[in-house]
Amino acid sequence: MEHVISGVAKFQRDVFPKNKEVFQKLATGQNPEVLFITCADSRIDPNLVTQTGPGDLFICRNAGNVVPPHSNQTGGMTASIEFAVAALGVSDIVVCGHTDCGAMKGAISPEALDELPHVKEWLGHCRGATEVVKHKHGSVGSEHLEEITKENVLLQMQHLKTHPSVAGRLACKEVRIHGWVYNIESGEVLCFDPQSESFKPMQECYTGENQFKSAIGL
């Protein structure tokens, strides 16, 4: 905890003064372009990976970068998605999974989560991903972790489309949904290309306007 406290002191002493104008502008409102949904894993830093600053991303984090399907029961993710899309007017939504994801390991072996009942129930939102992989291979195990991580990103992208605020803006092409997987060890970010139905290196998905539209399904 000491390094966290000393970090705050360093921020106030060295960082804030150099960016005072930025923070003064942000003090009265926000206008992020992107809703960034990712895992709560401590190894993931969305601003570091995307090289963005304060005010650029509206970030939602939870175990497994889960987006529960829309229901009449209000939850933190549902409210945050609605606020980002309907109130803040973000133009893009990124669902970003990552390698070595503990939540995906739990989804593979839910029986190991009996002592973590809330985690086990939460990861029920990932079951569709494990079932896809199970159907392909006949079973699921640790050797399928990468595949399940990717399938989970696709599943949560589908869940996003059930949220009314997202569905309406998708129909009018006012918002775009992206699926990413971040490799912690290599720093590589793969993005889903709907035309090839596969994850590709980012430079292959976002090179030029036509490729950009292809990558996001327009």
Each residue's pLDDT tens digit, 82-127: 999 999 999 999 999 999 999 999 999 999 999 999 999 999 999 9
- H/E segment holding residue 95: strand 92-98
Residue 206 has pLDDT above 90, yes or no: no
Q: Considering only the top CATH level, what class is 32-215? A: alpha beta
Each residue's pLDDT tens digit, 23-80: 999 999 999 999 999 999 999 999 999 999 999 999 999 999 999 999 988 899 999 9
User: What percent of the chain stands above pLDDT 70?
Assistant: 95
- The pLDDT assigned to 32 comes to 97
pTM comes to: 0.92
For residue 31, what is the DSSP state?
-
Average pLDDT value for residue range 157-173: 97
Strands (E), the chain: 34-39, 57-62, 92-98, 176-182, 189-193, 198-201
* Structural contact between residues 120 and 111, judged by C-beta atoms closer than 8 angstroms: no
Residue ranges per domain, the chain?
32-215
